[in-house]
Amino acid sequence: MIRDPDTLNALLDSVRRFVRERLVPAENEVAETDEIPPAIVQEMKDLGLFGLTIPEAYGGLELTMEEESLVMIEMGQTSPAFRSLFGTTVGIGSQGIVMDGSDAQKARYLPKMATGELIASFALTEPDAGSDAASIRTTARRDGDHYVVNGSKRYITNAPHAGLFTLMARTDPAVKGAGGITAFIVDAASPGITLGRRDRKMGQRGAHTCDVIFDEVRVPAENIIGGVEGRGFRTAMKVLDKGRIHIGAICVGVAERMLADALRYAMERRQFGVAIAEHQLVQAMLADSRTELYAARCMVLDAARRRDAGEDISVDAACVKYYASEMCGRVADRAVQIFGGAGYVADSGIERFYRDVRLFRIYEGTSQIQQLVIARGMVRAAA
């Protein structure tokens, strides 16, 4: 749903301009230094990017899913590391509070998230619990009006910058699966929290992940999201449903960028006396990429609109994430192929995107988990 086209277009224009004038020229620097320049971080805050999905009542822009998707398609036109810096705060880090938090929790945390003062991370994955999210072992044991948290979380995006973790922990050790899991808001400065060293990743330099270790960390009982034990897994799944459309939109954006770069190169590069874009086998790669991109874009916007209309989109969000991330990988591969030797060396930028986009098929649910969610949903609906 688009509430006011003029307001949205003004936002899309400023994001487009920011991406073109500030982020694209900084891509190489970020890849080399593994840091986003502080001036750019400040501009992201000034643009309101940290508050895109935070309700207006708490200082955010409260974008609908369709509006958010369109903004993410624009943000996708540059290195994904830029999006990652505010992505957990507008996405999986904050949305548990937005969807299931109490009014007091919203009033306390969301305004600082909206300005970018407070960066939120989502702490679900553990050394032994990834795709099988219900098997987490981090515990939260009740002790008076607090819980005491012990355990380790792994690959936590933005953990080195986080002021707050949306933490999934097991409050009922007797319940092995999803029912024993509770979502907590945890102040990242709490005594007993330590961070592992930053992971050395395949790509997305400038986006930081690390382990987060909880050792006897005391968390006030009032920090249970929504105030009720045992609802954390559902909260996490709802947050991920939304996150999967968001990632699908980013995949569309990055694929558009890679295809635009590949097309420009194909029109400039000459072999056999003509631009390689004149060769039919290159045209096939361009055409396949354009077609799949169009399909993914339609899927993202359709699922987003139907989520805005209140429909249950769990299965469709999985379809979107699955198709858009796999599409993005294929477009990256073809773009490298079109660039040929130039695509294999770092200077073209395509080599970097090829590594960056590999993550999309893995995080917020692997392609195989999306297939599982889709097929299970089909069986359930038919039964």
Q: Which residues are catalytic?
A: 364
CB of 233 to ligand COS, least distance (A): 5
Cβ distance to ligand COS smaller for residue 25 or 177: 177
Q: Cβ of residue 243: shortest distance to ligand COS, in angstroms?
A: 7
Token pair in block for residue 344: 């294999």
Read off the amino acid at residue 5: P
Residue 24 vs 178, nearer CB to ligand COS? 178
Would you say 77 and 12 are in contact if contact means Cβ atoms under 8 Å apart?
no
CB-nearer residue toward ligand COS: 64 or 158: 158
Neighbours of 309 (CB within 10 A): 12
82: left (phi over 0), alpha (psi -120 to 50) or beta: alpha
We find the least distance from the C-beta atom of residue 315 to ligand COS, in angstroms, to be 9
Per the structure block, which two tokens stand in for 44? 């992201």
> Closest distance between ligand COS and the C-beta of residue 74, in Å?
23
Amino acid letter, residue 92: I
Distance separating alpha carbons of residues 23 and 29, to the nearest angstrom = 10
- Contact present, 230 and 304 (Cβ < 8 Å): no
The amino acid that residue 96 corresponds to is G
Measured from the CB atom, the residue of 137 and 234 that comes closer to ligand COS is 234
Element holding 18 (H helix, E strand): helix 5-18
Query: Is residue 270 within a helix (H) or strand (E), and if so which, with residue range?
Result: strand 270-271
For ligand COS, the closer CB: 243 or 349: 243
- Per DSSP, the chain holds a count of helices (H) and strands (E) of 13, 9
Q: Which residues bind ligand COS (CB under 6 A)?
A: 92, 122, 124-125, 131-134, 177-179, 233-234, 237-238, 240-241, 314, 363-365, 369, 372-373
